[in-house]
Amino acid sequence: EYGGRNLRVNFSDKPKPREPLYPETEFKLFVGNLSWSVNSESLMDMFSGYGNVVGSRVLYDGETGRSRGYGFVCFSSKSEMEAALESLNGV
């Protein structure tokens, strides 16, 4: 008994494999200091001028739903990723 209630304790199920929330590659950039209005789609649009963007994601606070101000962008090649990094870092 704990807190006036009889506990039920058992083994938990193994976590089920989850599909990724967006396509990922090894050519992944972190993008920080984003405006609160930027979403995954606009982030993809911004980076697509530098190559084939395979996927992008802006992260949101689970409680407030507000952007956390950062995200990730994945490219199909290292050269595209490097071109975006050189052109957009510090902009």
For residue 44, tell me if it sits in a domain.
Answer: yes
- Token pair 């494999």 in the structure block, residue: 17
**Domains held by the chain: number:** 1
pLDDT in tens, 46-64: 999 999 999 999 999 988 9
Is residue 31 within 8 Å of 73, Cβ to Cβ? Answer: yes
Q: What is the CATH number of the domain that holds 32?
A: 3.30.70.330
For residue 15, tell me if it sits in a domain.
Answer: no
- 3-state secondary structure (DSSP) of residue 72: strand
Q: Give the residues of the chain that fall short of pLDDT 70.
A: 1-2, 15-16, 18-20
**Which domain does 84 fall in, by range?**
27-88
Residue 75: C-alpha distances to residues 50, 61, 64, 82, 84 (Å): 9, 25, 30, 10, 9
* Residue 54: predicted pLDDT: 95
For residue 18, tell me if it sits in a domain.
Answer: no
pTM, 2 dp: 0.76
